[in-house]
Amino acid sequence: MHRREFIKKSVAMAATAAAATTLGSVKKLMAAPAAGTPALVAVKGAAPGKMYKSAINALGGIKTFVKPNQIVVVKPNIGWNVEPEYAANTNPELVKEIVKSCLDAGAKKVYVFDHTCDQWQKSYKTSGIENAVKEAGGVISPGNEPRLYQAVKVPGGKALKDAAVHELILSSDVFINVPVLKSHGSTKLTIGMKNLMGIVRDRGWWHANNLHQCIADFAAFRRPDLTIVDAYRVMTDNGPRGVGSGEDIAPMQSLIATRDIVAADAAAAKIFGIEPEEIKYIKYAAEKNLGAMDLNTINIKKISL
C-alpha cells in the first residue's frame, strides 16, 4: 500500500469513527441497507458452500457488499497446521465459495490471509485454504511478516489503545471476516471478534494485558463488512488447536452471516450452548455498543436446507 493511500484511508477511517461517536450509537450506522432484509441469517443442514449461498442471498446478495472493481480481503482462521476435517481452521470449501462469489460480483482482487499461529506456509497448505483460494481465483497472501503491519490507533480502547494492523485490512474496500466456531481454553469460545486477532502483529501483548477487553476494544477499529461464522464442523473441546483426533468434532452443519460481528458471536455462542453474556469479550463489546448481544432485538432469518 502506498503511503498516500494509507494516510487517506486512515483519515477516512478516523472520520468515520468520529462520526460514529457523535451519532451516539454505532447500531444506527450498521442498520440493514434495505427494509425487510434480516440483520442476521442462520442456516443449517447443508454443505458449507450451499449454506453460504442461501445466506448471502437472504442478505440481499453479494452485490450489496461488493461493488465492481473493489478490492476485497477475506480473513478466515488459518491458525494451525491441521487438516480440514479436524476443524481447527475455517472450512476451505466455504472460503472458496466466498472468494468465487466476490469475483463474480466484479471484485478487482480478492485477498486471503491470516497471521497464523503455527508455521504459516505449512498452515496455509494443510488447512486446504491455500488451494481453495487459488482454485477460486483469489490471492493467498502472507500474514506473518512484521513489515506487513502498520501502526494504528484504536478508538475508545480501554485496554488496547493502539495496534499494528495488516496492510490489506487498511487498504481493502471490503473486509469479510470468516471465523470458525471452536472451543477455546482462555475465552471459552473463539468466533468472530477473536478471529480479528489474526490481523494484528503482536497478539501476545493482548494475552498479557486483559485479553477479553483487548478483543472487545479492537472490534471498534475496523468493523468487518460481513462476518460469516463457519459452524459446519465444530470443535467441542480441546480448542483452539484440537488434539489431532476427530473425537471432539461435532458435525453441526450450520452457518451464520451478518454485518454485526457482536450478533454473529452471540448467535454462534448460543449454537454452542453457551449464553453470550458468559463470554466476556462479547459482553464488553455489547457494553461498548458495538453490536447486538441480545438476539431478540434484531431481525433474524432462519433457514433449514
Partner 1 sequence: MTLKKLRVVFSIIVLLLFAFIFIFGTDKTTHLSETLTALQVMPATLKLMAGAGAAAIGLGIILLLTLLFGRVYCSFMCPLGTLQDIFIFLKYKSKRKFFRREKNYRLLRYAALTATALLSGFGVMTAAALLDPYSNFGRVFTSIVKPAWVWLHNSNAQLFHLKPLTQQNIPLDVAAYSAAILVLLGAFSYFRGRIFCNTLCPVGGLLGLISRYSFFKIKINREKCDSCAKCMAVCKAGCIDLKSGTVDNERCVACFNCIEACDSRDMSFGIPVKVTLPDPSRRQAVKTISMLFGSALIYFSSARKVFANIYPVKKKNPIILPPGAQSLSNYRKYCTGCQLCVAYCPTKVLKPSLFEDGYKAVLQPKLDYPAYYCLYECNTCSQVCPTHAIRPLRQADKKLVKIGTAKFIKENCIVYEKNVECVSCNEYCPTKAAAMVPYKGDLLIPQVKENLCIGCGACEKACPSKPHKAIYVEGLKIQGTADKPKGGQKRKKFGIMKEFPF
Q: Report the interface residues with partner 1, using CB under 8 A.
A: 42, 44, 81-82, 117-119, 121-122, 126, 139-140, 142, 145, 183-187, 204-205, 207-212, 234, 236-238, 240-250, 252, 254, 267, 270-271, 273, 295, 300, 302
Of 175, 191, 201, give the one whose Cα is nearest residue 115: 201
Shortest spacing between CB 236 and partner 1, in angstroms: 5
Residue corresponding to grid cell 432462519: 302
Output 62 or 267, the one with its CB closest to partner 1: 267
Q: Pairing state of beta strands 139-140 and 109-112?
A: parallel
Shortest spacing between CB 12 and partner 1, in angstroms: 25
Output b/e per residue, 87-123; b: 16+ Cβ within 10 A. bbbbbbbbbbbbbbbbbebebebbbbbbbbbbebeeb
Output 93 or 248, the one with its CB closest to partner 1: 248
Of 67, 132, 72, give the one whose Cα is nearest residue 106: 67
Shortest spacing between CB 38 and partner 1, in angstroms: 12
Query: d(Cα 119, Cα 77) in Å, to the nearest integer?
Result: 14
Shortest spacing between CB 240 and partner 1, in angstroms: 6
Output 225 or 248, the one with its CB closest to partner 1: 248
Question: Is the CB of residue 114 less than 8 Å from the CB of residue 103?
Answer: no
Output 7 or 243, the one with its CB closest to partner 1: 243
Output 166 or 212, the one with its CB closest to partner 1: 212
